[in-house]
Structures are given as structure tokens and as C-alpha cells.
Amino acid sequence: MSVGDTPPPPLRLRLASHGLDAVTLLVLPAAALLVALFVYPFFYGLWLSLHPKDGSIFGNYVKFFSDPFLYETIGKTLWLAVPVTVLNLVAAIPIAFRVRRMRNQRLLTTILVLPITLGTVLVAEGMLNYFGPQGWFNRTVMTLGLSATPLKLVHNYTGVFLSLVITGFPFTFLLVLSYLTGIDPVLEQAASTLGAKASSRFRHILLPLLVPGLGVTFCLGFVQAFSVFPSAVLLGAPAGPTRVISIAAYEAAFEQYDYSLASAIAMVMAAVLLAVIVAVMSLRGLFYRGPASGGKG
């Protein structure tokens, strides 16, 4: 029998052979929700940002990049987000290396998950008390004679920086730890039977396998730090050095009711984030990416 004799299979079967059947349709409601509440608002925002009050297409963007009160927020936000993210990452790596060997990691990881769960607002509230001039921290510093006057740790750059460390470090640490424990320990054993000392094992085996994960961790940490909002208001100097970009966007939307400008600022924010992520990810592309195990499982 030649191929031409067989009638074509019904449409349902042809679709099923491409993976489209009733089960696949289950994805639709969730996808529709996100298109409506995530994709559509984004494009609506983009459209809105191009239709400012004065009628010119790029009016909002021109305004943003010509008003130092607005464009300086990018620099201020980066000046917070980049050092914090780098610091968190640099501190997380050695600690994760230590904790990986611990048998009872759970207590430490549970304590560290606290600030993430409690959220930025509560951390800000706690820090106002704890790091304030009358707080326990300054009291201890003065009792130990490390400083004669209370350190000014809140309502300035330091306050926001610290809050980003407190919420960001645990996040970074737990991510690094999970990447690190994903590296098959037998690889390190293999390296040591081949004569590699601890430092060589780190340099030649663990670090190269960890780099892709560190890239992702940096991006996720950076995204969080870059969008800092409540703590910049509550713990910082929201009119001065910690006037971050999300404050500018919020003010435009909810104080000046200029949704068009607010959308434009949100777009600028997304663009900066995207630029940094693309840069980090393309660096990461230079390294090996793939399963960090030593062979067939």
C-alpha cells in the first residue's frame, strides 16, 4: 500500500503528535492571566510612556535625562546596588564553602531565611530601633569604647546599605549554597586523588563549575537591590543620597499622578536591569555551563 492511500489522520491526532492535546491546554489559564496582568501592562506602560502630557513621543525620556533630580537616581541606585551585591556575593562564597561541610546546616539556614521572610518593611522598622542612636548596637559600640559618640547608621546611605545586606546576604548565601551543594563532591575527591591541594581544587574544579551559578546569583541579588524601595524611604535620606529610581517612579505616579512619566521611569529601570543582566550573562557564557556532576548517574 502506498503512502497516498492512507487517509490523513484526524486533526486531533495530528495536533497531539506535536504535543498539543487536552493536557497542553491546561497551561492556557495561567498563561492568559500573565499576559493580562504582566505582558499587557508592560506594553501599555511602554505605550503610555511614549504619550506624555506635552504630546511629544520621547518627551518623558527627554525630561528624565535632562532633569538631574530624575537622572541622578540611576547613579544613586547603582551606587547602592552594585557594592551591596558584590559584597554579599564575596562574603557568601567562603561562608557557603564552610557551611557545605557542616552536618547541621538547617539551623543556620533557618535563621538566615528569617529576614527574607519578614520582608524589607519589618527589617527597616527593626533597624530604626536597633541601629538608632539609642539602640543596642550603638550602646554596645560605646560601651566597648569603639566610638565616643553614637554612629550615624540610619537615615542615610549606610542605613539603606545595611538593610540591603541584611535582606540580601541571606538570599545570596542560600543561593550560593544550593549551587555549591549541587557540585558532585566526588569531583573534588577525584581531583585530590590526582594530587590537587585544597587551593588547586578550588581554582580548577569548584570555581569554574560555580561561576555560572554565581552569575545568576549576582543578577538576582542585583535585581533585588536595584529595586530597593521601602528601606530607601524609611531608613535612608529619600530626598538626598538614597533617592533611588523606584522612589522617583513612585512619586511620579502617586504624588504627581503623571502615570506617563512614571511608566517611562519604570521602563528606564527595566532597561538598566536588562543591560546589567545581559552583560553578566554574556560573561557567564564564556564559561562551562551544564550539569556539575562527574558522569552518568
Partner 1 sequence: MQQSRPIAERAWVTIVWVLTGFFVVNLLAMIGTVVTSSFATRWLGTWLPAGWTPKWYISAWDEFQLDDLLIVTFEVVFAVVALSALLGIPAAYALARREFPGKKLVMLLFLLPLLVPPVTYGIPLATVLYKSGLGGTMSGVIAANLVPAVPFVILVMIPFIEQIDPKIEAAARVFGASTFRLFVHVLVPLLLPGALAALLLVLVRTIAMFELTFLTAGPGSQTLVVALYYAVFAAGVRAVQSVDAMAVVYMLTTLVWLIVALRFVNPTQMVTRAKQQQH
Partner 2 sequence: MATSLQTFKTLRLDHLGRDFGRLNALKDLTFSVERGEFVALLGPSGCGKSTALNCIAGLLPTTRGSIWLDDTRIDTLGAEDRGFGMVFQNYALFPHMSVRDNIGFGLRMRGVPRSEAKTRIDAAVATVRLEQQVDKLPGQLSGGQQQRVAIARAIVIEPPLVLMDEPLSNLDAKLRLEMRQEIRRIHAGLGSITLYVTHDQDEAMSLADRIVVMRDGEVRQIGTPEDLYLRPATLDVADFMGFRNRIPGRITGRAGDTVTLDVGGTSLSGLPRAALAGTSAIAAIRPDDLQAAPSGLAATVEVCEYRGHNFFGSARGPGGVELFFRSGHRLKTGEPVTLAADPSRVLVFDGETA
Contacts with partner 2, residue ranges (CB under 8 A): 184, 186-187, 189-197, 200, 204-205, 208-209, 287-288, 290-297
Residues 197-256 that bind partner 1 (CB under 8 A): 198, 212-213, 216, 219-220, 223-224, 226-227, 229-230, 233-234, 246, 249-250, 253-254
Residue 51 backbone phi and psi in degrees, to 5: -125, 70
Beta carbon of residue 192, minimum distance to partner 2 (angstroms, whole number): 4
Nearer to partner 1, 7 or 187 (CB): 187
Q: Look at residue 205 and give the partner it binds from partner 1, partner 2, none, a contact being a CB closer than 5 to 8 Å depending on partner kind.
A: partner 2
Nearer to partner 1, 7 or 269 (CB): 269
Nearer to partner 1, 59 or 180 (CB): 180
Q: Look at residue 103 and give the partner it binds from partner 2, partner 1, none, a contact being a CB closer than 5 to 8 Å depending on partner kind.
A: none
Residues 101-130 that bind partner 1 (CB under 8 A): 106, 108-130
Beta carbon of residue 36, minimum distance to partner 1 (angstroms, whole number): 9
Beta carbon of residue 183, minimum distance to partner 2 (angstroms, whole number): 10
